[in-house]
Structure 1
Amino acid sequence: MDTLFWMAVATVVVVLIFDYTNGFHDAANIVATVIASRAMTPIQAVCIVGFFEFMGPLLGGTAVANTIGKFVDLGDVQPQLAVLIMFCGLLGAIVWNLATWWLGIPSSSSHALVGGLAGAVVAAVGSDHVIWGFQELMTQGKLTGVMKVLLALFVSPLLGFWVGFGIHRLGRRLLAGAKPTANATLRKMQFVTAAGLAFSHGANDAQKSMGMLTLVLLLGGFIPTFEVPFWVVLSCAAAITLGIMSGGWRIVRTLGFAIYRVRPLHAFDSQLTSALLIFSASMIGAPVSTTHVVATSIMGIGYSERPRAVRWKKAKDIAKTWVITIPASALTSIVIYAITRIMLGQTT
């Protein structure tokens, strides 16, 4: 077996580890409101969310994978170097994911992936190998490359806030004269909305890893065109589901309790908002951050009810993490690339 083969194997493993940490990191985003509103026990939440998380990548198509897999251009780069770049970029994203998980900060795995891969590419072969998308947008009015990814990541939190705001206002009007027993119904309805959120998360987030894994296979010459093989879909679905079921419970406290005090109606509205937005994004190939959408939907819901009760300081802390994630993960991957080159004696 040649060096390229083993490098590709190592990178595929790293992709699946990233997919696992993505699920591990985002578990709290999906189950936080369910648990905080006491609609499900943690075991119930993990079982239901795990099943629908697995089904999301299998039935959600490959539109997001196509977007993620095509924002860097390494076609003219020597295969071993191209695979090494992918390896270092993904490892940078993993390190950032684990660091923010340890600190209990709900940062974006999507931002980490974009920053990590872009940083490694720029460090290794220059910025012209990243498809930024500025020129295409200005000359053709076409969204592509990094511009498409960043626009989706920027717009989705704003939509999360205002759609959550609107849905909660509507929900409060519809339940204005309801008895306290309505909370029991809302808790039962969360079995549906939580399942929908898990499905949409799998359909969007697992596709990011599917795109990366397929790109590794293409750059290594193992497949002729960028088409996602079924075994890639299955592997990524399994990895992210295992991550979800392992759970990032440190972040549950932040999302479920630290932003706004979540009640059954708040939880239902947040899950409904997040599921609708993330699934819609998956259908048009827009990679979004579940962390962003869930957190801002809770903020919007809290703002629509009692603006002063929203813990804006915690929201600002989260926002700062969102801002620094791309440059921080890019810097991490650059450092990892430099160390790797030294360890390999700069022979790759």
Structure 2
Amino acid sequence: MDTILLITVIIVLLAVAFDFINGFHDTANAIATSVSTKALKPRHAIILAATMNFVGAMTFTGVAKTITKDIVNPFELENGSLVIVAALIAAIAWNLITWYFGIPSSSSHALIGSIAGAAIAAAGIHSLNYSGFLNIIKALLISPLLAFAIGFTVYGILKLVFKNSNLSKTNKRFRTVQIATAALQSYSHGTNDAQKAMGIITMALIVNNYQQTDDIQFWVQFVCALAMGLGTAMGGWRIIKTIGGKIMKIRPVSGVAADLTGAAVIFGATFIHLPVSTTHVISSSILGVGASHRLRGVKWGTAQRMLITWVITLPISATLAGISYYILNLFF
């Protein structure tokens, strides 16, 4: 096996590992509300999430193409293979650290920050594709604000519509609806998150001259979808506890409002080919719903801790990737 092929294989394995870790790290995003309200048993919720994540990942490729070419230009990337390996090592490390401590940080922030940090370490700040990179950053920043506002509005409408309804019967009906909204949210998660690893693998194939376009090959899409689905099946129980109970007390109606909001924002981003953080979007939609229900009912301390993690993820992952690149460059 020649050196270039070996490095490409290593990148594919690391990208698949990232997708797998992303799956169990972000399982909570799609199913925490339905588990919290007992609309679904944890095992059933995870099976549903794993299946729908896989289906979602097999549906679109636009976000993958954005990851491939909008952060850096893979056709001109200096020392491209080492940049990609360093980025994946840093993103995986940060994902595992935040998973261990039960912090719902963003896999998207980690990966995008890592690619940028490794590229800057390799070729300087001018190696970034400023236009594409800034569009991605805008999407990452705007999407949680949008999710908060929509969640606040959707719950307000539901509260108004069902204000005179029998509470017990309404909760029972919304628990049934939550099964569908959990499936929808899991599907939307797959349409956006799984594509990030597809973009990384495609970038590696371009850098190592195995393909000349940014098209996503079917085997790449299938392998990443499978890794995401299997990772989801492993579950992310530490983060489920945070998303499902430490932000606010979730009831069936608020769970539906949060799920619909999260899925809508993620779908919107997928359709315009922009990567967003499902963690940010769904956590923010829950915050918006909670604020609409009762401001004092939201555990703002947890929200503050999450916000700090969101802010530091990009610079920390970029720094980790830069350090990883310098270390790798000493040996290769």
Q: Structures share a fold, TM > 0.5?
A: yes
Deviation at 1:22, TM superposition (A): 1.0
1:3-56 deviation per Cα after TM superposition (whole angstroms, max 9, x unaligned): 111011101111111111111110111111111111000011011111111100
Say yes or no: does 1:168 pair with 2:166: no
Deviation at 1:328, TM superposition (A): 0.5
Q: Compare 155-164 and 172-181 and name the one that shifted more.
A: 172-181
CA distance in 1, matches of 2:254, 2:77: 50
1:285-335 deviation per Cα after TM superposition (whole angstroms, max 9, x unaligned): 011111001111111111111101111111111000000000000111112
Amino acid at match of 1:304: S
Structure 1 partner of 2:55:
55
Which of 101, 112, 115 in structure 2 is aligned with 1:114? 112
Structure 1 partner of 2:248:
260
Structure 2 partner of 1:10:
10
Which aligned pairs between 1:268-307 and structure 2 lie closer than 5 A?
Answer: 268-307=256-295
Structure 2 partner of 1:127:
125
Structure 2 partner of 1:25:
25
Deviation at 1:128, TM superposition (A): 1.4
CA distance in 2, matches of 1:109, 1:297: 18
Which of 124, 138, 146 in structure 2 is aligned with 1:151? 138
Deviation at 1:194, TM superposition (A): 0.6
Secondary structure in 2 matching 1:262 = coil
Secondary structure in 1 matching 2:275 = coil
Structure 1 partner of 2:217:
229
Deviation at 1:75, TM superposition (A): 2.1
CA distance in 2, matches of 1:51, 1:318: 28
Deviation at 1:74, TM superposition (A): 3.8
1:177-229 deviation per Cα after TM superposition (whole angstroms, max 9, x unaligned): 11111211101111111111011100000111111111111111111211100
Check the 8 A contact 2:290/2:298 in 1, yes or no.
Answer: yes
Check the 8 A contact 1:74/1:129 in 2, yes or no.
Answer: no
Structure 1 partner of 2:310:
322
Secondary structure in 1 matching 2:147 = helix
CA distance in 2, matches of 1:214, 1:200: 22
Amino acid at match of 1:282: T
Percent of aligned positions with the same letter in both sequences? 41
CA distance in 1, matches of 2:297, 2:58: 40
Deviation at 1:77, TM superposition (A): 4.3
Which of 96, 99, 104 in structure 2 is aligned with 1:98? 96
CA distance in 2, matches of 1:37, 1:29: 14
CA distance in 2, matches of 1:74, 1:304: 45
Structure 1 partner of 2:198:
210
Evaluate the alpha carbon distance shift between residue 77 and residue 306 of structure 1 in structure 2; reply closer, same or farther with a 3 A threshold. Answer: closer
CA distance in 2, matches of 1:154, 1:220: 33
Check the 8 A contact 2:82/2:329 in 1, yes or no.
Answer: no
Say yes or no: does 1:177 pair with 2:164: yes
Amino acid at match of 1:27: T
Structure 2 partner of 1:139:
none
1:144-172 deviation per Cα after TM superposition (whole angstroms, max 9, x unaligned): x1111111100100011010000000111
Amino acid at match of 1:83: S
Secondary structure in 2 matching 1:224 = coil
CA distance in 2, matches of 1:15, 1:132: 24
Check the 8 A contact 2:63/2:273 in 1, yes or no.
Answer: yes
Amino acid at match of 1:154: L
CA distance in 1, matches of 2:88, 2:115: 6
CA distance in 1, matches of 2:213, 2:146: 35
CA distance in 1, matches of 2:73, 2:211: 16
CA distance in 2, matches of 1:90, 1:211: 12
CA distance in 2, matches of 1:186, 1:279: 22
Which aligned pairs between 1:77-96 and structure 2 lie closer than 5 A?
Answer: 77=77, 81-96=79-94
Amino acid at match of 1:305: H
- Give me the TM-score of the superposition, normalised by structure 1: 0.93
CA distance in 2, matches of 1:311, 1:100: 20
Structure 2 partner of 1:69:
68
RMSD of aligned C-alpha atoms? Answer: 1.0
Secondary structure in 1 matching 2:315 = helix
Amino acid at match of 1:14: L
CA distance in 2, matches of 1:35, 1:289: 21
1:118-138 deviation per Cα after TM superposition (whole angstroms, max 9, x unaligned): 1111111111111121xxxxx
Which of 308, 323, 326 in structure 2 is aligned with 1:335? 323
Structure 2 partner of 1:189:
177
CA distance in 1, matches of 2:41, 2:327: 44
Deviation at 1:339, TM superposition (A): 2.0
1:78-106 deviation per Cα after TM superposition (whole angstroms, max 9, x unaligned): 6xx21111011111001000000001100
